[in-house]
Amino acid sequence: MEEVKKQIDELRSFLHAQNYNYYVLNNPVISDQEFDMKMKELQALEALHPEFADPNSPTQRVGSDISMSFAQVTHERPMLSLGNTYNEQEIRDFWLRLDKQLARPFEIVCELKFDGTAISLIYENGELVRAATRGNGVVGDDVTRNVKTIRSIPLKLTGDYPARLEMRGEIIMPRAGFEALNNQRIEIGEIPFANPRNAAAGSLKLQSSSMVAQRPLDCILYYVLTDDIDFETHTQSLDMAKNWGFKISPHYKLCKSIDDIFDYINHWAEKRETLPYDIDGIVFKVNNLAMQQELGFTAKNPRWAISYKFKAEQAHSRLLSIAYQVGRTGVVTPVANMEPVQLAGTVVRRASLHNADIIDTLQLHVGDTVVVEKGGEIIPKIVGIDEELRPEGAQPVEFPKVCPECGTPLVRIEGEAAHYCPNITGCKPQITGRLIHFVSRKAMNIESIGEETVELLFERKLISSISDFYRLKLEDLLYLDGFAYKSAENVIRGIEESKKVPYPRVLFALGIRFVGETTAKILAKAFPNITLLANASKEQLLEIEEIGDRIAQSVIDYFANLENLKTVTELRDFGLQMEQSAKTPDSTALAGKSFVISGTFANHSRDELKELIENNGGKMLSGISSKTDYLVAGENMGPAKLEKASKLNVPIISEDKLMDLINNTAK
């Protein structure tokens, strides 16, 4: 056993180091494949030896499927906000006040003000034990499980760290990840996030940490609190924190004069667009910690620090028209066409308006002079109008009543912001959108077919449904412009290869509204073949932790459509993967035994327990019956299941007892 424990510890140390190299230093030293192999090796050992469980193991980065409401925690020291300033004179006033109060030379640390959500991290003996949001500054939400999924946050520290430590910083979402996330949301018919700050805050408060693990979150730390080390300066503490494994921004600067401060402000006012993430200003702190203590605090803010906020970049332009785009899920999105205007280093001609409510709120008229903003936004947005410049006779913008592509009356579902075209079989952009989505990289990944090819095949009436791809013949393509024998052969070969794509990706490729890549994996795990999913009731779908009413109803509606059922049947007949591939059990410890799981558990999520049961030969049941051998009971188990198990004399066992069953009979 000591040898196994040593092997597990060595793997954990190795993977912690690789996470630090990749996510903090941006300097990976091993391949992704080697990392994945080591991770799988550790996961296997931990599954076989739960007695060596560690909540800060690298395997916990994937998150858990346990749904949670966040507990409230009191901060050990209040998380005060900074006073804001927006002009040079207020910065000069801050400097002069410090000069008068301190009456001796001092230095100011200038730091970037990250546009995210504040976080407090508590470490004991080098291990992360708690993460909490700012909340009201005194009490915040305990988001430890979610924070542990963020790769740039160390779960275990390195070097000569203090016994107890609090780190404060900002959870952010880099622009590239934000843009990819919004594209995914638009793809499945959801309203995109307004900016990376909202996306980061919303992601951190998701109820399932396994979903948080799918979000491209990052964390930059900027403040060290500990009673175990007497730092002289703030910059000294930041340098030390780097050695412990924290991601610290390299862009801070020590300033000894007011001119140095303005040079720093002017530099980042011009260069902030070159950063991979958003900043909304600059933070100034007295560097000497003894001076900070001497200056003290007001009721709301520290007297030794202040923040300068950049004004959101705005420009004025003239609204020429509104275009209405129809996506593959039928969502109609209004886009403003404007006279070209320079904004944040780029020429802007279009701005998203998202939905009819925004148009009504702005009271837009064609010809209006509009205020366009790109402060913290990837996509420019219209934030206001100048009514005094409105042309005489300008007509108010009215959201269309019918689809701009096919003329079908639009619908708006109660509680949703978007309008939809319900004509899923006769609206061209919906049809071509579904076809393009089906062949895309994250779906069926038919590389030889791009958007232009899909449009051409549709125009020539060779495809109108996703199943039509599998009816294409070589001779069909040879008659098309731009297709030589070799390129036509590549298309047919790519289509044939796509039949090997696993079931979860096929499910995603079907284009069910609100079913993105992650949701498709969750559904595939809960319903391991397409027949089970197609016949699932809404109640069965809602039993899955991450599946809410909107997704459940969308799945029900999809399979209630006869055309969709016909398409799925055809795809299955063509040989696509419509069930999870069979896996050889790790052992036969639970062979012949049937289990039901209920409640939440300390060491495993319900899905992890299900996987352990199935991997050791057991069978999962959706409900308790006379055929159930064991009910595995956790906290907050429903009383109905407990009562039924008692009535049928089904043995009720704990998570630990289940592990004993596996380990005592596993070979």
CA distance 280 to 498: 45
Q: Tell me, yes or no, if 113 is annotated catalytic.
A: yes
Identify whether the C-beta of residue 154 lies closer than 8 Å to the C-beta of residue 138.
no
Identify whether the C-beta of residue 604 lies closer than 8 Å to the C-beta of residue 612.
yes
Residue 585: is it exposed, middle or buried by C-beta count within 10 angstroms (0-12/13-18/19+)?
middle
Strand partners, 369: 318
Identify whether the C-beta of residue 201 lies closer than 8 Å to the C-beta of residue 170.
no
Identify whether the C-beta of residue 319 lies closer than 8 Å to the C-beta of residue 335.
no
What is the pairing mode between strands 630-633 and 652-653?
A: parallel
Listed in order, strand segments (DSSP E) in 289-415 are 305-309, 314-326, 331-343, 346-352, 369-373, 381-385
Q: Specify the DSSP element, H or E, that contains 554.
A: helix 549-560
CA distance 8 to 43: 9
Instruction: Taking each helix axis as running N to C, give the angle between helix 2-23 and helix 32-48, from 0 to 180 degrees, rounded to the nearest 10.
Output: 150
Burial string for 605-614 (b: 16+ CB within 10 Å, else e) reads bbbbbbbbbb
| Best CA proximity match to 399, nearest among 358, 368, 338 | 358
Query: At 136, which amino acid appears?
Result: N
Instruction: Taking each helix axis as running N to C, give the angle between helix 88-102 and helix 258-271, from 0 to 180 degrees, rounded to the nearest 10.
Output: 150
Q: What is the CA radius of gyration of the chain?
A: 29
C-alpha angle 240-241-243 in degrees, rounded to nearest 5: 70
**651 backbone dihedrals φ, ψ, rounded to 5°:** -60, 135
CA distance 124 to 107: 32
Three-state secondary structure of 486-498: HHHHHHHHHHHHH
Q: 408 CB contacts (<8 Å, ≥6 apart)?
A: 402, 421, 422, 423, 426, 427
CA distance 523 to 508: 10
Active-site residue among 113, 156, 247, 521? 113
Query: At 317, which amino acid appears?
Result: S
> Would you please indicate which residues are annotated as catalytic (active-site) residues?
113
